[in-house]
Amino acid sequence: METMHRIRFITENYEALQGLRIVPIWTGLLFVSLLRLAFPDGGIIRSFLILFSLVFAIIMTVWVDGYYKRYFGTVKRHGSKVSIWLNWIVVVFFAAMFVDVFLQLPISILALIAALFMAYLWHVSRGLLPHYPILAILFGLIAIMPIFLPTETRYDAMQLLVGIIFVFTGILDHRMLESSLHPHKDDDDDDTI
Amino acid sequence: MTTPFEAMAGLDRLIHEPARLAILTALSAAQSVDFLFLQRLTGLTKGNLSTHLSKLEEAELVKIDKHFEGKKPITTIYLTTKGKTAINNHWQQLEQLRDNVREWEQQQKASE
């Protein structure tokens, strides 16, 4: 029964577990935050480095997509379920972002929702994502960070921390996926039956 | 009331074989999957997986589509409507069986 739960969970959440997909873009955003904090006055070098890191992140994302297709295979999910979920997640996250930016509350609603979301994902995985409770706690801590940070550097500092968390999350999700699947054999070019 | 052993004998062996149960369970969680994913998920060799898929295709539980992406052959596997019904019924039977075993164990303990 446990094995079958694992099989069902991996198949249903296959794309979300391809953690390396989020690593390049979050590394890029992390680098952008670092640059903004290091060069607060801007300048051509900062603009060039920001552009370079974003282009590099996009190229790496495309490469990672190919890597997963080649070595892990492809799963097409049930379309309707995904779109309903994604719509709700996008609406909730944008609403939270709106509240954070315009109301300037002493706590970040976006980080708080992210913390609850991580706890929920851990719950539905029935223990298959053991690192998610830690993520929930970290996001909970980020949620109260606005109390301690000056307004002008608040968002860059928070984005920097969120970037670091997501890079590690991506790597751990990938490791979880890798350890749940059997090793890839190199004679897999002959993909016929 | 049938004993759990009688109920177990009534399970469809085509579906209940562990590798095929794993394949059908994975397929029931997605619209389609490719051969490579199933191979990595189940740990079966290419030949073994092919044999199981052929049996499932013969029973009309899965549909197999072969096409090329560039020069690379891609095999995509779908669950048919018959397959969806079969795997859902099978899981219901297994859940029922688990409940029956618990009930039967309690009856055995009570009669001792």
The DSSP line for A11-71 is HHTTTTT-GGGTHHHHHHHHHHHHHHHH-TT--HHHHHHHHHHHHHHHHHHHHHHHHHHHH
Is the Cβ pair B36, A77 closer than 8 Å?
no
Span B4-106 CATH architecture:
Orthogonal Bundle (1.10)
Is the Cβ pair A181, B46 closer than 8 Å?
no
In which residue ranges of chain B is pLDDT below 70? Answer: 1-7, 9
Average pLDDT over residues A68-91: 80
Query: Does residue A193 carry a pLDDT above 60?
Result: no
Nearest-CA distance B81 → chain A (Å): 14
Question: Which pLDDT score, from 0 to 100, does residue A88 have?
Answer: 81
Q: Are A158 and A149 in contact (CB under 8 A)?
A: yes
Write down the domain spans for chain A.
Answer: 2-180
Nearest-CA distance B108 → chain A (Å): 24
Name the H helices within chain B.
4-9, 13-16, 18-28, 35-42, 46-58, 81-111
Please state, in angstroms and rounded to a whole number, the distance separating the CA atoms of residues A12 and B31.
Answer: 10
Apex B40 CA angle, A118 and B34, nearest 5: 90
Write down the domain spans for chain B.
Answer: 4-106
Looking at chain A, the whole-number percentage of residues with pLDDT higher than 90 is 37
**Which range is least confidently modeled, A74-88, A107-121, A130-144, B97-111?**
A74-88
The reported pTM is 0.81
Query: Does residue A185 carry a pLDDT above 70?
Result: no
Minimal Cβ distance to A191: which of B26, B36, B64: B36
Query: Does residue A92 carry a pLDDT above 70?
Result: yes
